[in-house]
Amino acid sequence: MTNRKPKMNMLKIVAVPMHPEGRKFVAIFAGITVLLGLIWEPLFWLGAGATVWCYYFFRDPVRTVPQRDGLVLSPADGVVSLISEVAPPPELGLGTTTVFRVSVFMNVFNCHVNRSPIEGKVTEIAYHKGKFVNASLDKASEHNERNGLTIESEEGHRIGVVQIAGLVARRIVCFVSVGDMLGAGERFGLIRFGSRLDIYLPEGIQPAISVGTTAVAGETILADLRGDQKPVRSADI
């Protein structure tokens, strides 16, 4: 029996709910497609493909959030591109002690809706203007445009989550305010067109994931605050 690669099901793509943030962009793409069709029919089909891609970019699928207490979930879809030990950004109010930072890189084909890694209260939000260098580079954490949140759990664990604009991304969107309560896996923002999220774990907590792993927002476990996770391998840092 031969193994066949699964075919892309376009019905499944367009049937996925779209986040409201994408409606105006899909409308713009659709309008341009109609105009292109009046000029030359092949251009219409190119525009139609671009419109479907735009819809797909802003998709907002339902996720199955693990219900066990103490888990730190990925806030983004993408690939774990970096794991390093660094001091958190000062604006997050997480102190100066070195902690593990897990970076998840999103390309233009990933779902870009960002979700809370833990259940807790938003205690800090800090936006910084910056550059738009490749988000996969380590220096993007410091030099790129970014928006950081600190989320504190009922048990007192504090997690830093930083939305970082990339080479193509030009708009960071945050839906929450200081004082808001978030459930684990609840939507808190998105970044348009390719970017990265950095997750700063509490002191003494090690990642339970390796570089190169594909993460799913609200589902993939990055760490365990109860401390019974597998330590990250040094080769992955």
Question: Is 187 within 8 Å of 59 (Cβ atoms)?
Answer: no
* Residue of 153, 195, 210, 234 marked active site: 195
Q: How far is CA 223 from the centre of its chain?
A: 16
Burial of residue 11 (number of CB atoms within 10 Å: 0-12, 13-18, 19+): exposed
Tell me the DSSP string of 2-42: ---PPPP-HHHHHHS-B-GGGHHHHHHHHHHHHHHHHH-HH
- Catalytic site includes residue 74: no
Question: Is 171 within 8 Å of 144 (Cβ atoms)?
Answer: no
Q: Give strand pairing partners of 160.
A: 150, 200
For residue 175, give the DSSP letter: -
Residues with active-site annotation: 195
